[in-house]
């Protein structure tokens, strides 16, 4: 192959959207939305018992599986939403994606991110006449067609920071190619910085809009293309590369060590009046927290970024709990 042919190959490979590469390296947070995440936050803890899961899960997946897998999508209605905390800002391009199957073409909001201080908002709206993504008070992109009722589609709202370009992505099954990629481009105006901490609301907005339908595989990625479809609907890939469980209100912790504490500097140390309160703070407030050391006598709650510890030291009344991967 001549030098010119090599350049041509490199150029084409940069343009082909199906080349996923190291997609998992681009994933900042992901929420697989399985029933297992909707359980007690701390195992064998008597002060925290949920008698029901507030959401309905169904065996309806974005793509077929053989053999069939467990229920994989959550059924949202006008009176239910999913809120996910985001505490770490991306260093470059970014985007939110989800797989959705609407039950109606009513006006609805599927994704809405809002920083705690209200200075940054990003929103994806669907109506009977079109689909729109916007960064509030900056720019928007609109596709003049609604999402298809009763069909799985992968949707995304993404930002190319260097180009000040906001994109709306809609893909129909089998999610091989981008069916719609509408973008707003404002190179004359610098794109607003992504602000954290904040909350991603799925299936509704902070302004009152709602959504009815199925949702699966919500992701927050450091990528302007969000070309990571297989990582979502391939349940094996989704589970095996998920080394850092997502921040949420529900999760399983297992006790691992008694009267021990890791010989490493914790992410943070705070006080909590119960083990459940300590675990909740780990889930909600610290992206890298996957282990907690709780002292039942003093109420000291320490957060750590590791699942397993090589070196431990003695600590009376302390027990280590580790968040379990899916």
Total structural domains within the chain: 2
Quick one: 173 and 295 in the same domain? no
Query: Do 102 and 215 fall into the same domain?
Result: yes
Are β-strands 139-143 and 27-31 bridged in parallel, bridged antiparallel, or unpaired? unpaired
Distance CA 277, CA 28 (A): 25
Are residues 270 and 231 both part of a single domain?
Answer: no
The per-residue pLDDT string of the chain (326 residues; one tens digit each, 9 = 90 and over) reads 343 443 333 332 333 333 333 455 566 666 656 555 554 433 334 444 344 456 777 878 787 665 556 667 888 887 788 877 787 788 888 999 888 999 999 999 999 999 989 999 999 999 999 999 999 999 999 999 889 999 999 899 999 998 899 999 898 877 765 678 888 888 888 889 999 888 889 999 999 999 999 998 888 887 666 555 555 555 554 443 344 444 455 667 888 899 999 999 999 999 998 888 888 888 778 877 889 999 999 999 999 988 778 899 999 999 999 886 54
| Same domain assignment for residues 119 and 162 | yes
| Together in a domain, 159 and 290 | no
Residues whose CB is less than 8 angstroms from the CB of residue 289 and which lie 6 or more positions away in sequence, other chains included: 267, 282, 283, 303, 304, 305, 323
Domain identity same for 200 and 257: no
- Beta strands, E only, the chain: 27-31, 56-58, 73-76, 82-86, 94-102, 108-115, 121-126, 131-135, 139-143, 153-160, 165-172, 180-185, 198-202, 213-221, 253-262, 268-271, 291-295, 300-304, 312-323
CATH code, domain with 263: 3.50.4.10
- Structural domain that includes position 229: 21-240
pTM of the shown model: 0.66
Q: Are residues 193 and 278 in the same domain?
A: no
| Helix, strand, or coil (residue 238) | helix
Of 188, 219, 240, the one marking the end of a domain is 240
> Token digits for 130?
């079109």
Final residue in a domain of this structure, among 240, 269, 287: 240
Contacts of 269 (CB under 8 A, 6+ apart): 300, 301, 302, 303
**Domain assignment of residue 116, yes or no:** yes
For residues 139 and 57, membership in a common domain is answered with: yes
For residue 293, list its beta bridge partners.
Answer: 302, 320
Last residue of a domain, one of 194, 212, 240: 240
Give the number of other CB atoms < 10 A from CB of residue 185.
13
């Amino acid at each position: 192959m001549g030098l010119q042919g090599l350049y041509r190959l490199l150029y084409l490979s940069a343009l082909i959207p199906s080349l996923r590469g190291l997609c998992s390296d681009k994933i900042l947070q992901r929420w697989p939305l399985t029933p297992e995440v909707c359980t007690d936050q701390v195992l064998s803890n008597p002060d925290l018992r949920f008698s029901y899961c507030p959401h309905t899960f169904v065996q309806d997946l974005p793509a077929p599986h053989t053999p069939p897998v467990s229920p994989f999508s959550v059924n949202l209605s006008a009176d239910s939403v999913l809120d996910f905390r985001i505490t770490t800002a991306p260093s470059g391009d970014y985007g939110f994606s989800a797989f959705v199957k609407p039950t109606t073409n009513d006006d609805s909001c599927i994704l809405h991110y809002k920083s705690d201080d209200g200075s940054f908002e990003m929103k994806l709206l669907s109506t009977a006449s079109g689909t729109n993504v916007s960064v509030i008070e900056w720019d928007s992109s609109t596709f003049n067609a609604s999402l298809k009722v009763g069909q799985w589609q992968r949707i995304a709202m993404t930002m190319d920071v260097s180009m000040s370009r906001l994109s709306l992505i809609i893909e129909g099954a089998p999610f091989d190619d981008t069916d719609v990629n509408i973008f707003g481009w404002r190179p004359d105006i610098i794109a607003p910085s992504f602000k954290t901490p904040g909350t991603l609301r799925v299936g509704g907005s902070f302004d009152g809009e709602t959504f009815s339908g199925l949702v699966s595989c919500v992701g927050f990625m450091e990528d302007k293309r969000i070309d990571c479809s297989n990582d979502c609907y391939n349940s094996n890939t989704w589970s095996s590369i998920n080394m850092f469980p997502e921040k949420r209100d529900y999760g399983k912790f297992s006790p691992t060590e008694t009267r021990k504490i890791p010989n490493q500097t914790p992410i943070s140390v705070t006080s909590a009046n119960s083990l459940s309160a300590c675990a909740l703070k780990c889930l909600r407030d610290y992206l890298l927290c996957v282990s907690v050391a709780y002292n039942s006598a003093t109420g000291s709650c320490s957060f750590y970024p590791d699942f397993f510890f090589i070196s431990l030291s003695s600590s009376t009344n302390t027990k280590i709990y580790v968040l379990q991967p899916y």
